[in-house]
Amino acid sequence: MYEKYHRTTIDCSKIRPHLKELIDRCGSPVKAAEYALVGQGTVYRIMHGVNCTVQQATASKILIALEHRRKEDRSNKATHTRLLKARQQQHRLEDLQERLAGY
């Protein structure tokens, strides 16, 4: 007897920050998709929140790719310039928020 295929899905909002970091480390969504062995359409869909669930296997691929990329960056003592710019921008925003809040 045929049993319906059951897949476990995860909400995109849980994987989006990790994918964004992978994109920043790789330099572009296309390179991140190739690195994580997922489709480019999947990367764009997650980042833009379209049909916002992904299979658990896809989320796992993204997390594993991010961990490998972090290890590569540490061993090479290199971080992609896009990631550095994103971190600097985040730091500037946090400083501005602190000054506005009066801390």
Task: Indicate the number of domains in the chain.
Answer: 1
Question: Is 43's pLDDT higher than 60?
Answer: yes
Residue identified by tokens 């330099």 is 27
In a domain, 1, yes or no: no
In a domain, 31, yes or no: yes
More confident residue, 96 or 15: 15
pTM given for the model: 0.70
User: Encoding tokens for residue 20?
Assistant: 């964004």
In a domain, 97, yes or no: yes
Range of the domain at 67: 9-101
In a domain, 92, yes or no: yes
In a domain, 91, yes or no: yes
In angstroms, the CA 70 to CA 90 distance is: 19
pLDDT mean over 1-15: 77
